[in-house]
Chain A
Amino acid sequence: MNEIRKQFPVLNQEVNGHPLVYLDSAATSQKPIQVLEAVKSYYELDNSNVHRGVHTLGNRATDSYEGAREKIRKFINANSTKEIIYTRGTTTSLNTVAGAYGRMHVNEGDEIVISYMEHHSNLIPWQQLAKEKGAVLKYFDLEQDGTITLETVRSTITDKTKIVAITMASNVLGTINPIKEIAEIAHNAGAVIVVDAAQAAPHMPIDVQDLDCDFLAFSGHKMCGPTGIGVLYGKQALLEEMEPIEFGGEMIDFVDLYDSTWKELPWKFEGGTPNIAGAIGLGAAIDFLTEIGLEKIAEHEHSLVEYAMDEMDKIEGVSIYGPRDPQKRCGLITFNIDGVHPHDLATVLDMNGIAVRAGHHCAQPLMKWLQCTATARASFYMYNTKEDVDRLVEGLRIAKEYFNDVF
């Protein structure tokens, strides 16, 4: 993996006098040279608007933009590029499902089921939809180790349930949820399943046809791509019946004074000039990830998490949240140290060149469930090494000593 690391220019620097250890990829990943080059080359050689130009640059831009869509289709094994909608990111994707599909199908007394481990972006759209429609918002209970059992899923979903929205991998607990099984239970009850794959798509293989999920959302920037580009996958039949929620250029068929018709899928959901460079960058990121192999990335992260949990366990006063079995979790560890507030910890680590996240991780209801207001999180990607873990563990010891012994 050392060769891979060299392809990320940003990692080759010192922060506060120490070589940078970047452990915040769950917030946003770093970008390899291949992605940076793809974006640069688009702007330097092909920059033009898509789907309108008769000229050569317009054609090149359109080919690259639509070519990236095909890469995404293949990456998640969707049936057709009609099912791949470019968005600004996971948040926009999930809001689009809630706004377009949810508004149409959820009525008073219906149920929407989500879980306590949802990121705010897969919680608030449903909460607000439920409020608007007079629907009931229900939560899957979590087990002590931060997992959801299929018994819970079966007993929570009823024939009144219209939508089940759940994360594939938790950005706090690291829990990987059994999406395929949950999808089956949801479908048997007549509900659709919406999957937040923001933390999954960068780290593990996804096959939407095998999972049989109805909608799936993810962001480019967490998987080596640029910010401001993301994906909404939806089954074609569902997308066909949905009305667009953004109107304007690019998404129309005919516009008359008093009515308009829409372009076919996927463009009817892509009003306005899209993030062309972002889409092309995401395409390059997918090439990069595919070349390494998602299985290999997942395996590397599991081994880092296992090593890190073992080493962190040796420090007295460290509590790790989420499942203990590294195979059941994605590549992140959320934790606390007795007597050191996570913000203070993050500052101490930063002074030592180590970047971690501290706070509520956009999951306030989950923080309540964990009975803490904030936690620290170290998250790994394919460019992290065992040495990075050693530096983290050393940083934790320094912080603990500094706060518990110096004062």
Chain B
Amino acid sequence: MSFNNNLDQLYRSVIMDHYKKPRNKGSLEGDSVTIDMNNPTCGDRIHLTLKMNDGIVEDAKFDGEGCSISMSSASMMTEVIKGKKLEEALELAQIFSNMMLGEDYSDKYDLGDVEALQGVSKFPARIKCATLAWKAMEKGVNEQR
């Protein structure tokens, strides 16, 4: 059914897997940076905690409420930035932004499950859902630098 094929571009099974079984869900205790962000037009909200030491993202956890795209994107983002240098994390945010705009993006990093979100670029109304967690991460990393 063509209808479902179109949807499948957006909702890949790996996305639904992250939505139903989010990785790094929760909140970091102790010495961490906290970022709360929401998408005022739709009510999605993310609470992100980052533990950064010696220029490296050591740990990341998120909490929040939102659709499958926003929550799976948050889950994937926390996975991919863990262990990265702060500059690398920011570079990844840029790469993700390019991906969402449907532009060519650098293959410098192994994006892992994040690649599954590529289809979101074809759904303009949903791009903001996908970028929320990345914007929060960018903000947190910039605060630390």
Given that A341-B66, A344-B69, A407-B16 are contacting pairs, would A373 and B7 also be in contact in the complex, using a CB cutoff of 8 Å?
no
Residue-wise, chain A 371-382 has the 8 Å CB interface mask toward B (1 for contact) of 001100000000
B135 CB within 8 Å of chain A: no
B129 touches A343 (CB 8 A): yes
The contact of A348 among B7, B13, B70, by CB within 8 Å, is B7
Q: Is B45 an interface residue (CB 8 A)?
A: yes
Give the A interface residue count (CB, 8 A): 23
A407, B13: Cβ atoms under 8 Å?
Answer: yes
Q: Are A343 and B126 in contact (CB under 8 A)?
A: yes
Which residue of B has the minimal Cβ distance to A395? B3
B84 to chain A, nearest CB (A): 29
B70 to chain A: closest residue by CB? A343
Closest to B126 in A: A347
- In chain B, positions 9-53 with a C-beta closer than 8 Å to chain A are 10-11, 13, 16-17, 20, 41-45
What size tier do the contact residues of chain B reach? 20 to 34
Q: Which residue of A has the minimal Cβ distance to B10?
A: A347
Q: B109 contacts which chain A residues (CB < 8 A)?
A: none
Q: CB-CB contacts of A381-407 with B at 8 A, as 1s and 0s?
A: 000000000000000001000110011
A347 touches B123 (CB 8 A): yes
Given the contacts A343-B67, A407-B16, A398 and B3 also touching, CB distance less than 8 Å:
yes
Are the CB atoms of B126 and A373 closer together than 8 Å?
no
Is A347 within 8 A of B125, CB to CB? yes
Determine if B97 is an interface residue (Cβ-Cβ < 8 Å): no
- Considering the chains assembled together, what is the distance between the CA atoms of A374 and B38 in angstroms? 13
Total A-B contacts with CB atoms under 8 angstroms apart: 59
| Given A358-B42, A373-B43, CB of A343 within 8 Å of CB of B69 | yes
Q: For B45, list chain A residues within 8 Å (CB).
A: 373
Knowing A343-B126, A348-B7, A352-B3, say if A360 contacts B43 (CB, 8 Å): yes
Q: Are B43 and A364 interface neighbours, CB within 8 A?
A: yes
A351→B10 CA distance, assembly (Å): 11
Q: Is B106 an interface residue (CB 8 A)?
A: no
A350–B16 Cα distance when bound, in Å, is 19
Q: A407 touching B125 by the CB < 8 A rule?
A: no
Given contacts A344-B68, A347-B123, A407-B13, contact A374 B7 (CB under 8 A): no
The residue of chain A having its C-beta at the shortest distance from the C-beta of B125 within the complex is: A347
Beyond A360-B42, A367-B43, is A402–B65 a contact (Cβ under 8 Å)?
no
Name 17 A/B residue pairs within 8 A (Cβ), A-sorted: A16-B6, A17-B2, A17-B3, A342-B67, A343-B42, A343-B44, A343-B66, A343-B70, A344-B68, A359-B42, A359-B43, A373-B44, A398-B3, A402-B4, A402-B11, A407-B11, A407-B20
* Chain A residues close to B by CB (< 8 Å): 16-17, 341-344, 347-348, 350-352, 358-360, 364, 367, 373-374, 398, 402-403, 406-407
In the complex, the 4 A-B pairs of residues with the closest C-beta atoms, listed nearest first: A343-B67, A407-B16, A341-B67, A360-B43
